Structure 1
C-alpha cells in the first residue's frame, strides 16, 4: 500500500522568510515555493530529494539532527560555513567533546561531524563521507 507511493521528509520553522534566506543564501541550497501547496517551501537537495519546510506558529526546535549533509571534508566545510555566518555548536560533555570549531573528530565510534542550528533552532550537521 505505502511502498509504491512517493514519500518525502519535512520539518517546521517559525519563519519561512528566514528559512528561505538561510537555506538558500547562507547554505547555498536550491529552495523555492511549493507549486501545489501554498505557503510551503521546497528544499531541493537534488531532483529526487525534496524536503518540505512548513511554517508552524508554535514551532519547537527538533532536539535531534533533522538534516545531515554528507561532505568530503568537514573542516573545510565548517570553515566555509563559518565565513558565511553559521555558528557551530560546541559540545563539552565529559564523553562528548568537539574542538573549538565545533568538530567532533571521527574515530572507531563514529565519523567526523559538526552540528549547527538553522534560524528556527533545528539541528543540522555536516558529516564526513569517508570517500
Structure 2
C-alpha cells in the first residue's frame, strides 16, 4: 500500500518567517517555500515545516537529526552562530554540552539545540 508512495517527515513551528530565516540563513540549508510552509531539501530526504499558530507547543523530543563527522566542530560552529547547546534533564553532558553515548555503548555522541519555535534538533556523530 505505501511502498511506492512519496514519503516525507514534517513538524510545525509558530512563526514561519523566523523558521525560514533560521533554517536558511543561520543553518545554511536549502529552503523551498510554497506559500504555506516550506520544505527543507536535505541529503537523502525532505522535511516539511508548516505553520501551527502562536499557541504551538514543540515536541518533547528532537524532530530533526544532522549526522556529522566531527561533533566537537559542529558544536563549535553552532555556538559561533549564537546557538545554545541544550542540557537534557537526566542525561550526562560533557563540558561542551555533548552527550557521549559512544563511550558507554549507548548510541551516538549527540548535542541538542533548538530552532526559534523551540523544536529540538540534534547533531549526531555515529
Work out whether the TM-score is over 0.5.
yes
Give the unaligned 5+ runs of structure 2.
none
Deviations 1:100-125, CA, capped at 9 Å, x for gaps: 32101232112111001111001110
Aligned length: 123
Deviations 1:11-42, CA, capped at 9 Å, x for gaps: 000001110111111111111213xxx31111
Alpha carbon RMSD of aligned pairs, Å? 1.3
Cα distance, 1:91 vs. partner? 3.6
Cα distance, 1:92 vs. partner? 5.6
TM (norm. structure 1) is 0.87
Match of 1:50 in 2: 46
Match of 1:23 in 2: 23
Q: Per the alignment, in what secondary structure is the counterpart of residue 97 of structure 1?
A: coil
Cα distance, 1:61 vs. partner? 0.5
Match of 1:8 in 2: 8
Give the unaligned 5+ runs of structure 1.
none
Match of 2:111 in 1: 114
Q: Which aligned segments of 4 or more residues in structure 1 are displaced greater than 4 angstroms?
A: none
TM (norm. structure 2) is 0.90
Shift of the 92–4 alpha-carbon distance from structure 1 to 2, 3 Å rule, reads: closer
